[in-house]
Amino acid sequence: MPTFRAPRGTRDLLPPERAVFGRLEAVARDLSRRYGYREMETPLFEQAAVFERGIGEMTDVIEKELFRLVPRSEEGEVWALRPEATAGIVRGYVQHGMHTWPQPVKVSLIGPMFRYDRPQAGRYRQFWQWDVEAIGDPGPAIDAELIELGARFYREAGLDDVLLLLNSIGDTECRPAYVAELAAYFREHAVQLPDLERRRLETNPLRLLDSKDPSLAALQARAPRIVDRLCPACAEHFGAVRSHLDTLGIAYRLEPALVRGLDYYTRTAFEYYREGAEGQQQALGGGGRYDGLVQLLGGQPTPGIGFALGLDRVALNLQSSGLAEGQRPPLAVIVGAEPAATAERLKLATALRAEGLPVRADLSRRKLGRQLEGAARDGAHFAVIVAEGSENGALQLKDLQAGTQRPLAAVDLARELRRAESSHRHG
């Protein structure tokens, strides 16, 4: 047993897994660029009130999962690690007067989030999200644009069987009456409710709809549905979101029980699941409209919509589908006939790297044969052999894939490798 381990619910991303994350980040960044979202960063911690007020005190994320930081000074502020990105971004929108920028403000963020959750497969205390927000547009067209963007991310990441679940959860006009009706319905059946759900009934009855407790399934199926209770404005908005999605050819399944865990959502709500996994707590991502959030955090009334896609679960799914990619081998390994001449090999590699080429120098003091074995094991295309006493720059270029070898002057090496690299890349 090692003395120290990464904290429970966190994990190290070792290079093979970090490479998968890197590829997902590259897909996300490229999509952000194509769709006109610009990256921003917020602090990893905020005043706890940003999350409490924004997300809602009666939600799991705040009640059970918020990582609060104990203040060390007299500054008196209570901070918390960010459990999601939207509240911090919207705090930034208000703080920096972004309502004076051209609207909507379209931003994205990639980074770690923290929730003090019970750790299990695909559920961590530190996990990564790609977050996308469009603030200042009431929709419905932008809702469809954003939902399509999320769906495209999974396809471009290599997951082809992702299902979109869609709902509208109304707004301040129609939701309060619906929530009261829902609470009354569950109260009638209170004896059938497990303790936790009975408590939720009094604090946040919507949560009973997406509770995964199997004893609730029958009650949930017969519960009143928000889609049948939308006010005319919300119904029209929802209809228009759907027709925009139809126009884009985006398939979705209506899911009346999809309410999302956070208080700030209004109207459009959506989640992405791997096909066949939609009944489980394994959403790949989700989002929704939050027309009240900017005001809740001290700004002018401003509509907004966004999503957060969890990168960990996509990476896990790619790994289990064998779609994860391995390490990139170096183009060449610099080896030498004189085991002790490490400075010479390092100097040559340094010069090639300065030219932009991915090469490794063998810095061991092994015999040449061993160095060549190492280069082959790395999967390198070439071994560059520095001959004994080769002050005049005479080298041997060994093509490890073709099994050929020829002499080469040092001055020609970078050009030769670059040519091989580009024909390799394009060929």
d(CA 348, CA 171): 66
Q: Which helix (H) or strand (E) holds 100?
A: none
Q: How far is the CB of 110 from ligand AMP (least distance, A)?
A: 12
User: In terms of CB distance, is 94 or 308 closer to ligand AMP?
Assistant: 308
Taking alpha carbons only, the member of 113, 31, 164 closest to residue 312 is 113
Residues 6+ apart with CB under 8 A from 322: none
Helices of type H across 159-231? 175-188, 195-203, 217-222
d(CA 252, CA 246): 9
Decide if 405 contacts 355 (C-beta within 8 A): no
Taking alpha carbons only, the member of 377, 381, 382 closest to residue 335 is 382
Task: Return the residue nearest ligand AMP (CB atom).
Answer: 310
Tell the residue number behind the tokens 């963020």, with chain if given: 109
Q: Give the pairing type, strands 404-409 and 394-399.
A: antiparallel
Enumerate the β-bridge partners of residue 395: 386, 408
Q: How far is the CB of 131 from ligand AMP (least distance, A)?
A: 9
At residue 277, the 3 state secondary structure works out as coil
d(CA 211, CA 192): 14
Instruction: State the distance between the two ends of the chain, measured CA to CA, in whole angstroms.
Output: 48
Q: How far is the CB of 309 from ligand AMP (least distance, A)?
A: 6
User: In terms of CB distance, is 127 or 178 closer to ligand AMP?
Assistant: 127
Residues 6+ apart with CB under 8 A from 378: 329, 330, 333, 360
User: In terms of CB distance, is 261 or 303 closer to ligand AMP?
Assistant: 261
Cis peptide before 140 (omega within 30 of 0): yes
Q: How far is the CB of 190 from ligand AMP (least distance, A)?
A: 27
Q: How far is the CB of 276 from ligand AMP (least distance, A)?
A: 16
User: In terms of CB distance, is 261 or 292 closer to ligand AMP?
Assistant: 261
User: In terms of CB distance, is 131 or 362 closer to ligand AMP?
Assistant: 131
Q: How far is the CB of 127 from ligand AMP (least distance, A)?
A: 3
Measured in residues, the chain has a length of: 427
User: In terms of CB distance, is 117 or 156 closer to ligand AMP?
Assistant: 117
Q: How far is the CB of 249 from ligand AMP (least distance, A)?
A: 24
> Where on the chain is the footprint of ligand AMP (CB under 6 A)?
84, 115, 117, 122-124, 127, 129, 261, 283-286, 308, 310, 312-313
User: In terms of CB distance, is 114 or 178 closer to ligand AMP?
Assistant: 114
Taking alpha carbons only, the member of 375, 328, 379, 388 closest to residue 349 is 375
Decide if 10 contacts 125 (C-beta within 8 A): yes
Q: Give the pairing type, strands 162-168 and 68-69.
A: unpaired
User: In terms of CB distance, is 123 or 370 closer to ligand AMP?
Assistant: 123
Q: How far is the CB of 425 from ligand AMP (least distance, A)?
A: 33
Q: How far is the CB of 282 from ligand AMP (least distance, A)?
A: 8
User: In terms of CB distance, is 170 or 306 closer to ligand AMP?
Assistant: 306
User: In terms of CB distance, is 53 or 115 closer to ligand AMP?
Assistant: 115
DSSP, res 207: G
Tell the residue number behind the tokens 């960010």, with chain if given: 82
Q: How far is the CB of 287 from ligand AMP (least distance, A)?
A: 8
Cis peptide before 104 (omega within 30 of 0): yes
User: In terms of CB distance, is 55 or 348 closer to ligand AMP?
Assistant: 55
Taking alpha carbons only, the member of 332, 414, 343 closest to residue 376 is 332
d(CA 195, CA 199): 6
DSSP, res 117: P
Q: How far is the CB of 413 from ligand AMP (least distance, A)?
A: 46
